[in-house]
């Protein structure tokens, strides 16, 4: 199980924290932003800080 703790319900820009909650069976989490891998998390804490840039734009964030 992987679930986003951080929710982005609108347009985002600038540095933002991304956090996921994972089940005990999860060994790693790949985070994809608009289809591009931005990070692979392999241990707790399951979070990172990512700079979304200056432009407000709709994004697709997947784990």
Number of domains in the chain: 1
Mean pLDDT in consecutive groups of 10 residues from the start of the chain, 63 residues: 88 93 97 97 97 91 94
| pLDDT, position 30 | 98
Structural domain of residue 39, as residue ranges? 2-62
Sheet holding 15-22, edge to edge: 2-4, 15-22, 47-51
Kindly give the residue spans of alpha helices, DSSP state H, lying in 1-63. Answer: none
């Amino acid at each position: 199980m992987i679930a986003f703790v951080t929710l982005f319900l609108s347009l985002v820009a600038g540095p933002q924290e991304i956090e996921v909650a994972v089940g005990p069976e999860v060994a790693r989490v790949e985070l994809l932003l608009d289809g591009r891998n931005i990070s692979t998390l392999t241990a707790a804490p399951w979070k990172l800080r990512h700079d979304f840039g200056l432009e407000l734009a709709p994004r697709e964030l997947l784990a």
